A and B are shown apart, each in its own frame.
Chain A
Amino acid sequence: MTDITLSIDGKTIAVPQGASILDACRTLEIDTPTLCFTETLEPAYACRACVVEVGPGALIPACARQVEEGMEVSTASERVIRSRRMVFELLGSATNLERADDDILRWNDSLGATKDRFGLPTKARERTAPHPGHHSPARAGDAESIQEPVKIEDDLYVRDYSACILCFRCVDACGEQHQNTFAIATAGRGFNARISTEFDFALPDSACVYCGNCIAVCPTGALVGKIQWDLRLEGQWNPSRQETKRSVCGYCGVGCNLEITTQDGRIVEVGSPADHDVTLGNLCIKGRFGWQFVYADE
């Protein structure tokens, strides 16, 4: 395969044909913010955090565009930085990013995003009203937020959609890209678009099979295991006291690799490495949650 030569921020680089601008940026170790992009899924091109400037038209998401010979890309122009900063500011103004991945918090800070320029966020309320095309603006001076009550419907998952940035990774992981269960999809429209089961059914009443592959790809902690959630509530969740070890799931013969995280010697979470050929980070309910007997009383 031939290489394509392009320039990014004045640096020339050759990358394989078919690579994205984002691939090229990462090869050059240019720190490029991404939210909806993750290595194991086709991105939705929805977050617009990775936009770059190529010529005079609208900015382009780096993850979406393949490199072209002689392309001149700018990742640090005033237009790029302003749009990236605004993406984080707008998300921060409507969404709880406190539990987001470290990378997201770092990009938020390095872009200088200030979420409180827009007014006080509105308080949590049910967001299930399905009717699109109509709204009443928030009380003058308030910034409409997506804060809503936490959904705790079983012993395995917590869904805190106040932290959802609509990256659509969970929908893709539940649907045809990974799990083929299709328990969740986007419902509603516009600012009221949200991740939902059919008719907003509780998860146990939906098609969910509790594989937890949605939790594995959620970048903001909107979807989180119940054990982590409870420890956080108690103020006991502490990554500095945690250790992660690799193992192989013993339930069947597929050979899914596991990453077992312990805190103070006690298992708190099980996942699978995203770069593992067999799983791409996915597991089934047994692999992800079928260890809790370890601490059973009987």
Chain B
Amino acid sequence: MDLRLLAATPTDVEQDAVDSVIGLPEDRDGDRIDQAVGRVALGGHQVRAERHLLLPALHSLRNARGWISEGGLGYVCERLTIPPAEAYGVATFYSLLGFEERPDRMVHVCDDIMCVGRSEATITRLEAEGVSVARSPCLGGCWSPPATLEDAVGSTFASGSDTPPVPQEPNGLRLLRRVGVVDPTSIGDYQEHGGFSALRRARELGPEEVLNELERSNLRGRGGAAFPIAVKWRGVRAAEGAVKHVIANGDESEPGTFKDRVLMEADPFALIEGLLIAAEATAATKAWIYVRAEYPTAIERLGTAIAAIEAAGLHDDLDIEIRVGAGAYICGEETSLFASIEGQRGEPRQKPPFPTTSGLFLQPTAINNIETLVAVLEVIEQGATAFAAVGTKDSTGPKLFSVSGDVHRPGVYELPFGTPLGELIALAGGARGQIGAVLLGGAAGTFIGPGDLNFELSIEGATGVGAMLGSGAVMVFNDSTDFGAIVRRIAAFFRDESCGKCVPCRIGTVRQEEALIRLADGNVIDSVESELRLLADIDAVMTDASICGLGRTAAAAVRSAIALELAGVIT
């Protein structure tokens, strides 16, 4: 590949940062740079196959210097044979990577759905202290708003909040039974609390019987799409390809959702155990865990856990790599996540082909939510019959819910599918004040009015009230809430997080926010009715014609808020 590189040179710090990810240049054969013309023909196919190191190298530059300079980006391009325009395109996709000199310390303060309005005092205080503040989408700290993220030059990010609270007693819990009980940094402690018994059992059963057990359990994915696991895994096992992947999707970015954070931070060995079972059942040759950068504790603990599992030889030589996001909600969408790992912009792909045959690097891939992988352990340990005895016919097993907002005990709760929403709210200490509405499923979810709160929390139960369970986010708002501010924040969120690839979402999310602002201001173009027709048209094209789930759900909360006539949306 004949590339024209950037003229700027890296500093020693930048060069070391990139080399620490890619290796020293002397280690390679075939690196040739023609300094006279500034063009480069580097180590060919072998080097280009390492494009997936682009995002880790960008992270390393950011950690070292705080921002990405021309010299730094140019050096990455030279080492990985990436066209500078493409690398710039990738780097400018992520909100946590910057291109300008910045203060040594910054604090990202969440002003998303649960923190909006509650973050202003913190922002004012920090700014008065001379700290540079960046407003942030949901940081997964909704139980104690506002959530913050420390961002200092010379180190990785640090979360301003602890592991989310689990207010239930551990007795009787399955998915959460080790949370707060086990030492998340100790493989020995994990084993003493029943760790790896599912992996041993799975190895006794063999892949076919594991798949049969999962099919009998009717376990469905916990990330929002509720796809049957057995179907997905069988698809990957049956797909042709010498290299296959399993991925744990820990890019939990749906506002109001922090249940995967609990599992990754407080029981990291469990999801890796689930990933090992997934790899053996699907005949995968490579495993990945993709975690959002906003969860630094999870990243650190998963790294420690992988090292311990490898040292103990439990991984059966499976290569497990952690990949860290860089501030992009869209990268939780499976095909965008593939693109992000591959070192491309985190844009979704048109499906079909589906990941089971054409996923990461266009190879067969099983990608699963964190909670799903932990639920797999339950199926294998207890057996399908016992697992399916909990929950409803179509939604089997236990389910985690992230409860936040106007309740007395926000946190992560585990309940059998089918439990009425009212019961969950009661378990969370009951509402503070009269409930005005519950937002189910986060920004991509649906507002449910106070008259509908006793539906069953199951995939089919949510459909019955015109909602989706989604990721299990339950955000409770009392009747003094300015829902207009919440709805406009949701619209702004989608505008910020749209990747920009398809027309309906790229422009529709902008027009949706603008119309909502006009309605709130009473500054309508023609009439309230014409603005509502406009919103309905934008809703139709985004929901019907967008390339991925982000655009297809970007109007859901707005639509439900208008239908419920929530206060403050239209003035």
Contacts and interface: CB of A to CB of B under 8 A. Distances in A.
Co-assembled chains A and B: yes
Interface of A: 35, 44-49, 51, 58-59, 61, 64-65, 79, 82-83, 86-87, 89-91, 93-94, 117-119, 130-135, 137-138, 140-144, 165-166, 175, 180, 182-193, 196-199, 206-207
11 contacts: A48-B503, A86-B537, A130-B99, A133-B327, A140-B517, A141-B523, A187-B89, A189-B93, A191-B510, A198-B83, A206-B4
A59 B544 CA distance: 5
Contacts of A65: 352
A135 B495 contact: yes
Given A119-B514, A191-B506, A132 B501 contact: no
Interface in B68-89: 70, 73, 83-89
B83 A190 contact: no
Given A90-B511, A143-B511, A190 B500 contact: yes
Most buried by B among A175, A183, A191: A191
B495 A186 contact: no
Nearest to B511: A118
A140 B523 contact: yes
Given A117-B534, A131-B95, A144 B502 contact: no
B541 interface: yes
B174 interface: no
Contacts of A192: 500
Interface in B1-17: 1-4, 6
A190 B509 CA distance: 9
Contacts of B85: 182-185, 187, 196-198, 206-207
A49 B510 CA distance: 19
A58 B500 contact: no
Contacts of A86: 504, 508, 537-538, 540-541, 545
Interface string B116-141: 00000000000000000011110000
B242 interface: no
Contacts, number: 207
Interface in B489-539: 492, 495-504, 506-511, 513-515, 517-518, 521, 523, 525, 530, 534, 537-538
A46 B92 contact: no
A78 to B, nearest CB: 10
B520 to A, nearest CB: 9
B323 interface: no
B163 interface: no
A150 to B, nearest CB: 20
A87 B541 contact: yes
A189 B92 contact: yes
A198 B93 contact: no
Given A90-B507, A132-B93, A198-B84, A46 B552 contact: no
Interface class of chain A by DSSP? loop
Given A134-B135, A187-B88, A188-B93, A83 B540 contact: yes
Given A51-B544, A132-B92, A199-B88, A118 B514 contact: yes
Contacts of A133: 95, 136-137, 327-328, 496-497
A91 B503 contact: yes
Contact of B89 (A141, A186, A191): A186
A186 B95 contact: no
Contact of A207 (B83, B327, B525, B547): B83
Given A82-B541, A118-B511, A135-B495, A45 B500 contact: no
A137 B544 contact: no
Most buried by A among B495, B501, B543: B501
A132 to B, nearest CB: 5
A193 B501 contact: yes
B525 A193 contact: no
B396 interface: no
Contacts of B540: 79, 82-83, 86
Nearest to B5: A207
Contacts of A94: 507, 510
Contacts of A131: 95, 98-99
Interface string B475-496: 0000000000000000010011
